[in-house]
Structures are given as structure tokens and as C-alpha cells.
């Protein structure tokens, strides 16, 4: 069995080095592939039992492993939809059959349907803001949707939040209760007036008249009307009651709102959503009237561009300069990344040895940080691969010599019989 074993061991060594050369060739071929993870052949000895002074040579076996947990260098680009991960984690993508996978290949561009896809055609997944601020599903893919940016779609954002900051002169005259704007009489009087533009559900502008009237020492009435209800060429009386009314109370010692005073006013925008206007910075000081205000929302605009922040939030940037959060991209991790199953297209799936997938947001729970405008290059080092190639070639040659020597000795042994 000695000569046969010697030849078998030589074949085993050549096969092992052949596998090693195959991984080197694959690594060199993918040295410029974004998100590619280096493959390497790990050797382990195969020992056969020996007895009675005879030695049975065994051989070598190989197992292929991938350096998935080793990050490649980041390369910055000019595309806002290119994404990289600085640290631990993977993007969640979806294949054509709807199955989710993990990847570090983050060069995403919109396809014909507005879906963000990478070079292998896998679609980026995220949580939608359609139903409010998203929360992550820690142990599965439930709730994830394909990140879709339809740039031709018109989007209107109704007003929901605003602020009004004003100084109401302390020396203003008090208006009688019967003549307050809230009474909506033709003889209504007010101390100061301003207007705010809000947006309804269809993106239409709704002009809101805001009256600020002194009702007594350190008290002011704030009343809001729909401008569309105003009488022609004047203001009062309005065709409908006020949208909202509240009374502010000021502290005479510092001119700021008193502790028990309301700090905001809420109303329903005509044809729109509930609008809450923050008035916590209102003052009553002995100086002139001044006012500033702002309200969110927007008229119908098409998406001009897409912006992705470091926390993974995908924003739509509109032509008017406003932006709206559409999705938040999670990151995934497993207990043993190097044990993930490697799939064509630089994607990975969980295996029995890798552990289950856990999801979280950028920078939380040991996960890395999303880096927009960059891609992760291959973690292959060409110099190392060329060195491994030469070493594998020499080892293959040495193993072939063992086989050749065994073959020659076997031929000699057969010829002894002749």
C-alpha cells in the first residue's frame, strides 16, 4: 500500500493546490468588483491509520472560506445613491424572486420603475415613512419595502407644523370683549394682524389670518380665520367661525409667557390636516410690534434629486428646495459573517453556521455607519494573490514530483517480475 498511498497523497496535494489556484484566479478576476470578498483555500491534514511498522500516507483536504468580515477600502464617488458601510453590517437587498439577501455592494442607481438597484440587479430594501417614523424589526425582514424613487411623480405635502414668534407691545390699548375678533362682528377690532400660508392635502395654498388682540393686563387673544371666508374688501365679518382661538398670558416681570399659559394653537387647515402652531417664544415687551412665522408643507412638486443621510434616511429633494423623508435604510448583521453562504452577484444568505439575521439602524447596536457618496471596493490585494499563485504553483510541482516518483517505483516493481 506504500507506493499506492504515495501516489494517492501526491494527487491529493495537487488537487488541494489546484483549489488554491482557483481561488487566486477568482480573487484576481474580481479585484475591481465592488463589495467582493476574498476567497481562500484552507488546508487540513487527512491521516490514515498505520500499523506494524508500515506507514499509510494520508493526504490533504481543502475547504473554501471567504473573508466576508474584512472590509475593503472606500472609494468616494459623485453619485448620491452610492452607499458604503464604514464598519460592521450589510445592506438588505431583494432578488428577482423576492428573496432577501445581504450585500456590501452599494453602487445603486434607479431602474425604469424608480427602484434603487445595484450592478447585479438586486433591489435595495428599506422601511417606509408612509405610516410615520419607522421602527426596525430586529429579528427578520418583515416591514421592509423596495426603495422606490419615482422622480416624475408629483407630491404635495400638507401642513402639519408651524411656528409664530411675535413681540406684542406692552403698552397697547385693551379691546372690549364685544369687539374682539373671536366675536366675528362687523365692528371687530384688533391690535395686530399677520397672515400665514399653509397647504392642504392637494398642495393648494390656504391663507390664514391671525389676529392678536390685547384683552386685559398681560392677556392677549389669538384668533385664526380662513382668508377665503372674509367679507369682500374687508375682513369682518367672516362667513364662518374662527378656525381656532386661544388666550395667552404673560409674566409681567419678564415679558415671557406665564407658566400656565398655552404655548401653541391647533387648527384644521381647510381641506388639509391638523396644523399645530408653536407660540412658545411670544413676548410682551415695551417696544414695537414684530412678527416672524413659518409653516411646513409644500405645493405639488416633482422630485428633483435624492439625498441619503448618514443615518440611512432617504430624502426626496423637490424643485422648491424642500425635502421629505421617504425611507430609512437598515443594516443587517449575523453572529458569524464569515460563515454566510456566498451567492452570485456579491450577495450572501444566512446559513446554519452563520446565525440568524438581526437588523438595526446605522450606528446602533455595534453596526457601522452608512456613508453616502461612496462604494466599498474589493478587499483583494493583488500583491498577496500573486505571491500565493507562485507558492501554489511550486507546491503543485512538488506534489507532482511525489506522484511521478511513486509511478516510477511502481513501474520498477512491476518490471521485477519480468
pLDDT of residue 418: 62
Are 220 and 168 in contact by the 8 Å Cβ rule? The answer is: yes
Q: What is the mean pLDDT of residues 215-240?
A: 91
Q: What is the mean pLDDT of residues 238-263?
A: 95
pLDDT band with cut points at 50, 70 and 90 for residue 218:
very high
Q: CA–CA distance from 282 to each of 170, 173, 215, 255, 277 (Å)?
A: 12, 18, 16, 9, 12
Model pLDDT for residues 333-345, shown as the tens digit of each residue: 999 999 999 999 8
Residues whose CB falls within 8 Å of the CB of residue 169, separated by 6 or more in sequence, listed in order: 284, 285, 286, 287, 288, 289
- Helix/strand/coil for 188: coil
Most confident of 56-70, 140-154, 250-264: 250-264
Parallel, antiparallel, or unpaired: how do β-strands 274-278 and 264-268 relate?
antiparallel
Model pLDDT for residues 25-73, shown as the tens digit of each residue: 999 999 999 999 999 998 888 887 777 677 777 788 888 999 999 999 9
Give the residue range(s) of CATH 2.60.98.20 domains in the chain.
159-296
pLDDT of residue 316: 85
pLDDT of residue 139: 78
Q: Minimum mean pLDDT among 175-179, 206-210, 237-241, 401-405: which range?
A: 401-405
Q: Minimum mean pLDDT among 278-282, 321-325, 398-402: which range?
A: 321-325
pLDDT band with cut points at 50, 70 and 90 for residue 287:
very high
The string of DSSP letters for 27-42 reads: HHHTTTSTT---EEEE
Higher pLDDT, 8 or 395: 395
pLDDT at 248 over 70: yes
Angle at 201 between CA 195 and CA 207, to 5 degrees: 15
Q: Which three cell numbers stand for residue 17?
A: 493546490
DSSP single-letter state for residue 177: G
Model pLDDT for residues 349-360, shown as the tens digit of each residue: 999 889 889 999
pLDDT band with cut points at 50, 70 and 90 for residue 155:
confident
Residues whose CB falls within 8 Å of the CB of residue 411, separated by 6 or more in sequence, listed in order: none
pLDDT band with cut points at 50, 70 and 90 for residue 413:
confident
As a whole number of angstroms, the distance between CA 29 and CA 27 comes to 5
Mean per-residue pLDDT over the chain, rounded? 89
As a whole number of angstroms, the distance between CA 50 and CA 60 comes to 17
- The CA-based diameter of the chain, rounded to the nearest angstrom, is 135
Model pLDDT for residues 81-97, shown as the tens digit of each residue: 999 999 999 999 999 88
Q: Which three cell numbers stand for residue 205?
A: 395654498
pLDDT of residue 242: 96
As a whole number of angstroms, the distance between CA 251 and CA 219 comes to 9
Are 29 and 21 in contact by the 8 Å Cβ rule? The answer is: no
Q: Across the chain, how many H-helices and E-strands are there? A: 2, 28
pLDDT of residue 1: 52
Model pLDDT for residues 105-139, shown as the tens digit of each residue: 999 998 988 899 999 999 999 999 888 889 988 77
pLDDT at 415 over 90: no
pLDDT at 3 over 80: no
Most confident of 150-159, 213-222, 349-358: 213-222
pLDDT of residue 4: 67
pLDDT at 399 over 90: no
The share of the chain scoring above pLDDT 90, in percent, equals 63
Give this prediction's pTM.
Answer: 0.66
Q: What is the mean pLDDT of residues 97-102?
A: 92
pLDDT band with cut points at 50, 70 and 90 for residue 154:
confident
pLDDT at 263 over 90: yes
Q: Which three cell numbers stand for residue 223?
A: 384668533
Phi, psi at 22, each rounded to 5°:
-65, -40
- How many other C-beta atoms can be found within 10 angstroms of the C-beta atom of residue 262? 14
Q: Which three cell numbers stand for residue 39?
A: 476567497
As a whole number of angstroms, the distance between CA 118 and CA 124 comes to 8
Q: CA–CA distance from 331 to each of 106, 136, 243, 328 (Å)?
A: 12, 10, 45, 10
Q: Is 399 left (phi over 0), alpha (psi -120 to 50) or beta?
A: alpha
Q: Which three cell numbers stand for residue 51?
A: 500499523
pLDDT band with cut points at 50, 70 and 90 for residue 407:
confident
pLDDT of residue 151: 63
DSSP single-letter state for residue 250: B
Beta bridge partners of 308: 314
Residues whose CB falls within 8 Å of the CB of residue 29, separated by 6 or more in sequence, listed in order: none
Residues whose CB falls within 8 Å of the CB of residue 418, separated by 6 or more in sequence, listed in order: none
Q: Determine whether domain 159-296 maps to CATH 2.60.98.20.
A: yes
Q: Which H or E run includes 375?
A: strand 374-376
The share of the chain scoring above pLDDT 70, in percent, equals 97
Amino acid at each position: 500500500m506504500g507506493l499506492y498511498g504515495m501516489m494517492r497523497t501526491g494527487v491529493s496535494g495537487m488537487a488541494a493546490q489546484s483549489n488554491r489556484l482557483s481561488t487566486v484566479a477568482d480573487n484576481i478576476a474580481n479585484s475591481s468588483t465592488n463589495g467582493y470578498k476574498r476567497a481562500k483555500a484552507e488546508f487540513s491534514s487527512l491521516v490514515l491509520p498505520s500499523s506494524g511498522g508500515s506507514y499509510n500516507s494520508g493526504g490533504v483536504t481543502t475547504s473554501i472560506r471567504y473573508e466576508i468580515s474584512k472590509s475593503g477600502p472606500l472609494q468616494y464617488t459623485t453619485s448620491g445613491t452610492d452607499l458604503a458601510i464604514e464598519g460592521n453590517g450589510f445592506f438588505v437587498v431583494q432578488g428577482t424572486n423576492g428573496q432577501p439577501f445581504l450585500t456590501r455592494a452599494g453602487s445603486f442607481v434607479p431602474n425604469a420603475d424608480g427602484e434603487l438597484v445595484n450592478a447585479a440587479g438586486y433591489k435595495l430594501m428599506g422601511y417606509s415613512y408612509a405610516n410615520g417614523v419607522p421602527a426596525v424589526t430586529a429579528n427578520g425582514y418583515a416591514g421592509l419595502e423596495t426603495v422606490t424613487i419615482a422622480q416624475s411623480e408629483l407630491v404635495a405635502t400638507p401642513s402639519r407644523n408651524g411656528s409664530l414668534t411675535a413681540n406684542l407691545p406692552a403698552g397697547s390699548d385693551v379691546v372690549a370683549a364685544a369687539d374682539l375678533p373671536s366675536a366675528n362682528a362687523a365692528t371687530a377690532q384688533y391690535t395686530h394682524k399677520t397672515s400665514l400660508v399653509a397647504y392642504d392635502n392637494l398642495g393648494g395654498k390656504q391663507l390664514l389670518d391671525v389676529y392678536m388682540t390685547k384683552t386685559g393686563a398681560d392677556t392677549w387673544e389669538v384668533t385664526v380665520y380662513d382668508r377665503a371666508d372674509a367679507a369682500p374688501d374687508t375682513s369682518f365679518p367672516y362667513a364662518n367661525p374662527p378656525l381656532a382661538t386661544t388666550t395667552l398670558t404673560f409674566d409681567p416681570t419678564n415679558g415671557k409667557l406665564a407658566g400656565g399659559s398655552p404655548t401653541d394653537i391647533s387648527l384644521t387647515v381647510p381641506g388639509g390636516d391638523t396644523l399645530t402652531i408653536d407660540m412658545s417664544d411670544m413676548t410682551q415687551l415695551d417696544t414695537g410690534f414684530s412678527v416672524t412665522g413659518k409653516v411646513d408643507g409644500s405645493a405639488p412638486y416633482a422630485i428633483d434629486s435624492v439625498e441619503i443621510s448618514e443615518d440611512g434616511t432617504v430624502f426626496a429633494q423637490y424643485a422648491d428646495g424642500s425635502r421629505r423623508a421617504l425611507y430609512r435604510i437598515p443594516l443587517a448583521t449575523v453572529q458569524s459573517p464569515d460563515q454566510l453562504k456566498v451567492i452570485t452577484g456579491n450577495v450572501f444568505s444566512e446559513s446554519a453556521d452563520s446565525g440568524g439575521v438581526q437588523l438595526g439602524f446605522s450606528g446602533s447596536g455595534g453596526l457601522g455607519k452608512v456613508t453616502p457618496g461612496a462604494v466599498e471596493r474589493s478587499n483583494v490585494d493583488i500583491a498577496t494573490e500573486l505571491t500565493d499563485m507562485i507558492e501554489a504553483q511550486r507546491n503543485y510541482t512538488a506534489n507532482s514530483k511525489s506522484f511521478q516518483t511513486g509511478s516510477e517505483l511502481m513501474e520498477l516493481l512491476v518490471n521485477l517480475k519480468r
